[in-house]
Structure 1
Amino acid sequence: MGSQRVDMSRTVRIGVDVGGTNTDAVAINPTQQSEPGRGVLAHHKTPHHPGRHPGNRDRRPHRLEKVSPRPLRHRERDGRHHPLHQRRRRARRAPPPPRRHPAPVPQLPARDPALFRVPPALTKIIKGYVGYCDGGLHIDGSEEAPVVEAQVVDRCREIRALGLTAVVVVGAFSPIDEVFHQEDRVRDIVLREMPPGTDVVVSHEVANIGLLERENASILNAAILQYARCTVRGFRRAMKALDLHCPLFLTQNDGTLLDAAAAAKIPIRTFNSGATNSMRGAAYLAGHDTQDSSAIVADIGGTTTDVGVLLPSGLPRQASAYVTVAGVRVNYSMPHLHSVGLGGGSIVRQTEDGKVAVGPGSVGHYLTQKALAFGGDVVTASDIAVAAGRAKMGTCVVNLDPNLVTNAEHQIKMLLEGVVDLIKTSPEPLPVLLVGGGAVLSPSSLEGASELRLPPFHDVANAVGAAISNVGGTVDVIQSVADQSITDAVERAKSMAIQRALDSGAERDSVRIAEEESYPVTYVANKLRTVVKAIGKLDINLKTELLVEEDDEGEVEEEESEVAKDFSIVVTDEPEPVNPITYRPTVIRNESTGILEWHISETDINYLADGCYVLGCAGGGSPAASRIQLRDMLRAGHTMRVIDSSSLDPKAVVYWGGHMGSPATSNERLQSTETVLAFQALMEYRREESFDAVISLEIGGANGLEPFLVGSSRFFDRPILDADFMGRAYPTYWQTTLAVHAPNELVPCAIDSGDGKTIIMTRAPDDEIVDRALRASCSEMGSRVGMASCPTTAEKVGNFSVLRTVSLAWRIGRCIARAEATNTLSTVAESIVQEAGGEKSAKVLFRGKIVAVERRLFKGHSHGSITIAGLSASEEENSGIGQHGIMPAFKTGGTLMIPFKNENLFAEHTAEDGTTKTIIASVPDLICVLDTSSGRNLGVPEFKYGFRVTVLGITCSPRWTETPAGLKIGGPRAFGYDMDYHPIGEYVEPKSVIEEFAPTG
Structure 2
Amino acid sequence: MGSIAPKSVRIGVDVGGTNTDAVAIDFSQQDSPSRGILSHHKTPTTADITSGIETAVRHILQESQITDSQLASVTIGTTAFLNSVIEQDTRRLSRVAIIRLSRSFLRDVKPFSGWPAGLAGILNGYVGYVDGGLQIDGSEEAPVVEEQVMRECQEIKKLGLTSIVVAGVYSPIDKESRQEERVRDIIAREIPGADIVCSHEVANIGFLERENASILNAAILRYARQTVRNFRSAMKRLNLTCPLFLTQNDGTLLESASAAKVPIRTFSSGATNSMRGAAYLSGHKLGSTSAIVVDIGGTTTDVGILLPSGFPKQASAYVTVSGVSVNYSMPHLHSIGLGGGSLVLETDRGITIGPESVGHDLATKALVFGGSTITATDIAVAAGKTDIGSRDLVGHFTSNFLEGAQEKLKILLERAIEQIKPSEDPLPVLLVGGGTILAPDSLHGASKLVLPPFHGVANAVGAACSKVGGTVDMIQSLANQTSKQAREKACEVAIARAVKAGALEGSVEIAEIDAMPIPYLANQLRIVVKAIGDLDLIASLLVAEDEDTGDDDVYTSVESTKIFHDIVVEETPIDHHAYRPTIVRTAQGIPEWLISAIDIDYISDGCYVLGCGGGGSPGPGRLQLLDMLKTGYQIRCVDHSALEDDAVIYWGGRMGSPATTAERLQAHETVSAIKVLMEYLGHSTFAAVMPLEIGGSNGLEPFLWGSDRFYDRPIIDGDFMGKANPCCWQNTLSVHAPGNLAPCSVDSGDGQSIVMTRSTDDPTVDKVLRGAITEMGSLAGLVCKPTTGAMARKHAVLNTVSLSWRIGRAIAQAQANNALSTVGEAIIKEVGGAESAKIIFRGKIVSVENAMHKGHSVGVLTIVEVPSEEVDDLASTSMPAVVTGGSIQIPFKNENIYVEHTDSDGTKKIVASAPDLIAVLDKETGRAVGVPEYRYGYHVVVIGITCSPRWTETERGIEIGGPKGYGYDFEYVPLGKYVEPRSVIMEYAEKEGSNLKPE
* TM-score, normalising length: structure 1: 0.79
Q: More deviation in 731-740 or 809-818?
A: 809-818
| 1:54–1:60 Cα contact (<8 Å) kept | no
Select 2:643's aligned residue among 644, 648, 652: 648
Cα deviation, residue 810, structure 1: 1.6
What CA distance in whole angstroms lies between the structure 2 residues aligned with 1:419 and 1:644?
38
| Residue in structure 2 matched with residue 397 of structure 1 by the alignment | none
Cα deviation, residue 667, structure 1: 1.2
* SS at structure 1 position matched to 2:950: helix
Deviations 1:271-308 (A, max 9, x none): 2223544566688889999xxxx998986767988444
| 1:523–1:775 Cα contact (<8 Å) kept | no
Select 1:935's aligned residue among 926, 941, 948: 926
Select 1:692's aligned residue among 684, 687, 690: 687
| Residue in structure 2 matched with residue 958 of structure 1 by the alignment | 949
Is 2:221 the counterpart of 1:229?
A: no
Gaps of 5+ in 1: 1-6, 344-362, 377-414, 425-431, 442-452
Cα deviation, residue 147, structure 1: 0.8
What CA distance in whole angstroms lies between the structure 2 residues aligned with 1:276 and 1:166?
28
Is 2:765 the counterpart of 1:770?
A: yes
Cα deviation, residue 622, structure 1: 1.8
Deviations 1:889-948 (A, max 9, x none): 47486567362424344456788x968987654432333444455333333444566766
Q: In 2 relative to 1, CA 74–228 (structure 1 residues): closer, same or farther, beyond 3 Å?
A: farther
Cα deviation, residue 531, structure 1: 0.8
| Residue in structure 2 matched with residue 319 of structure 1 by the alignment | 315
* SS at structure 2 position matched to 1:253: coil
| Residue in structure 2 matched with residue 80 of structure 1 by the alignment | 78
Q: In 2 relative to 1, CA 726–420 (structure 1 residues): closer, same or farther, beyond 3 Å?
A: closer
Deviations 1:735-788 (A, max 9, x none): 100110011222222322222333333343322232233333333322222222
* SS at structure 2 position matched to 1:62: helix
* SS at structure 2 position matched to 1:25: strand
Cα deviation, residue 211, structure 1: 1.2
| Residue in structure 2 matched with residue 15 of structure 1 by the alignment | 12
The residue type paired with residue 917 of structure 2 is: L
| 2:25–2:38 Cα contact (<8 Å) kept | yes
Q: In 2 relative to 1, CA 158–541 (structure 1 residues): closer, same or farther, beyond 3 Å?
A: farther
Match runs of 1:430-469 below 5 Å: 462-469=459-466
Select 1:899's aligned residue among 890, 897, 900: 890
Cα deviation, residue 950, structure 1: 5.0
| Residue in structure 2 matched with residue 157 of structure 1 by the alignment | 154
Deviations 1:36-67 (A, max 9, x none): 59994732131536988465368634322223
Deviations 1:867-901 (A, max 9, x none): 456999x988x7232xxxx7x44748656736242
* TM-score, normalising length: structure 2: 0.79
What CA distance in whole angstroms lies between the structure 2 residues aligned with 1:656 and 1:48?
64
Gaps of 5+ in 2: 340-374, 389-417, 440-449, 991-995
Q: In 2 relative to 1, CA 837–602 (structure 1 residues): closer, same or farther, beyond 3 Å?
A: same
Deviations 1:673-712 (A, max 9, x none): 2222222333333343443321101111111001111222
Is 2:781 the counterpart of 1:805?
A: no
What CA distance in whole angstroms lies between the structure 1 residues aligned with 2:866 and 2:284?
27
What CA distance in whole angstroms lies between the structure 1 residues aligned with 2:483 and 2:922?
32
* SS at structure 1 position matched to 2:150: helix
Select 1:103's aligned residue among 80, 97, 106: 97
Deviations 1:72-100 (A, max 9, x none): 76643333322533664xxxx54335462
What CA distance in whole angstroms lies between the structure 1 residues aligned with 2:758 and 2:18?
70
Select 1:681's aligned residue among 667, 676, 681: 676
The residue type paired with residue 966 of structure 1 is: G
What CA distance in whole angstroms lies between the structure 2 residues aligned with 1:372 and 1:645?
67
Q: In 2 relative to 1, CA 798–524 (structure 1 residues): closer, same or farther, beyond 3 Å?
A: farther
The residue type paired with residue 524 of structure 1 is: L
What CA distance in whole angstroms lies between the structure 2 residues aligned with 1:11 and 1:948?
37
What CA distance in whole angstroms lies between the structure 1 residues aligned with 2:210 and 2:517?
21
| Residue in structure 2 matched with residue 738 of structure 1 by the alignment | 733
What CA distance in whole angstroms lies between the structure 2 residues aligned with 1:825 and 1:767?
42
Q: In 2 relative to 1, CA 871–966 (structure 1 residues): closer, same or farther, beyond 3 Å?
A: farther
Q: In 2 relative to 1, CA 662–239 (structure 1 residues): closer, same or farther, beyond 3 Å?
A: same
The residue type paired with residue 13 of structure 2 is: V
Deviations 1:315-339 (A, max 9, x none): 8664324411111111111135799
Is 2:958 the counterpart of 1:967?
A: yes
Q: In 2 relative to 1, CA 677–775 (structure 1 residues): closer, same or farther, beyond 3 Å?
A: same
Cα deviation, residue 419, structure 1: 8.1
What CA distance in whole angstroms lies between the structure 2 residues aligned with 1:51 and 1:322?
35
What CA distance in whole angstroms lies between the structure 1 residues aligned with 2:534 and 2:833?
58
* SS at structure 1 position matched to 2:771: helix
Instruction: State the number of aligned residues.
Output: 898
| 1:72–1:245 Cα contact (<8 Å) kept | no
The residue type paired with residue 250 of structure 1 is: L
| 1:307–1:339 Cα contact (<8 Å) kept | no
Cα deviation, residue 640, structure 1: 1.7
Q: In 2 relative to 1, CA 544–898 (structure 1 residues): closer, same or farther, beyond 3 Å?
A: closer
| 1:850–1:944 Cα contact (<8 Å) kept | no
Match runs of 1:368-407 below 5 Å: none
What CA distance in whole angstroms lies between the structure 1 residues aligned with 2:944 and 2:470?
42
Is 2:970 the counterpart of 1:978?
A: yes
| 1:24–1:43 Cα contact (<8 Å) kept | no
| 1:167–1:199 Cα contact (<8 Å) kept | yes
Is 2:238 the counterpart of 1:242?
A: yes
* SS at structure 1 position matched to 2:94: coil
Deviations 1:491-523 (A, max 9, x none): 554565456556656677876654332221124
Cα deviation, residue 848, structure 1: 3.9
Q: In 2 relative to 1, CA 617–420 (structure 1 residues): closer, same or farther, beyond 3 Å?
A: closer
Q: In 2 relative to 1, CA 629–326 (structure 1 residues): closer, same or farther, beyond 3 Å?
A: same
What CA distance in whole angstroms lies between the structure 2 residues aligned with 1:818 and 1:647?
31
Is 2:605 the counterpart of 1:607?
A: no
The residue type paired with residue 175 of structure 2 is: E
| Residue in structure 2 matched with residue 138 of structure 1 by the alignment | 135
Is 2:509 the counterpart of 1:517?
A: no
Cα deviation, residue 131, structure 1: 0.7
Q: More deviation in 798-807 or 964-973?
A: 964-973
Select 2:982's aligned residue among 990, 993, 996: 990
Is 2:914 the counterpart of 1:923?
A: yes
Q: In 2 relative to 1, CA 49–235 (structure 1 residues): closer, same or farther, beyond 3 Å?
A: closer
Cα deviation, residue 627, structure 1: 0.4
Q: More deviation in 547-556 or 94-103?
A: 547-556
Q: More deviation in 274-283 or 203-212?
A: 274-283
Q: In 2 relative to 1, CA 905–140 (structure 1 residues): closer, same or farther, beyond 3 Å?
A: closer
Is 2:581 the counterpart of 1:589?
A: no
Match runs of 1:183-332 below 5 Å: 183-194=180-191, 196-277=192-273, 306-309=304-307, 318-332=314-328
| 1:611–1:812 Cα contact (<8 Å) kept | yes
| Residue in structure 2 matched with residue 703 of structure 1 by the alignment | 698
Cα deviation, residue 198, structure 1: 1.9
| Residue in structure 2 matched with residue 408 of structure 1 by the alignment | none
Is 2:783 the counterpart of 1:788?
A: yes
Q: More deviation in 207-216 or 711-720?
A: 711-720
| 1:115–1:215 Cα contact (<8 Å) kept | no
Cα deviation, residue 217, structure 1: 0.6
Deviations 1:436-476 (A, max 9, x none): 6899x9xxxxxxxxxxx999978756434434545444222
What CA distance in whole angstroms lies between the structure 1 residues aligned with 2:921 and 2:662?
21
Q: In 2 relative to 1, CA 985–898 (structure 1 residues): closer, same or farther, beyond 3 Å?
A: farther
* SS at structure 2 position matched to 1:17: strand
| Residue in structure 2 matched with residue 174 of structure 1 by the alignment | 171
What CA distance in whole angstroms lies between the structure 2 residues aligned with 1:565 and 1:338?
26
| 2:820–2:925 Cα contact (<8 Å) kept | yes
Q: In 2 relative to 1, CA 677–870 (structure 1 residues): closer, same or farther, beyond 3 Å?
A: farther
* SS at structure 2 position matched to 1:95: coil
| 2:842–2:881 Cα contact (<8 Å) kept | no
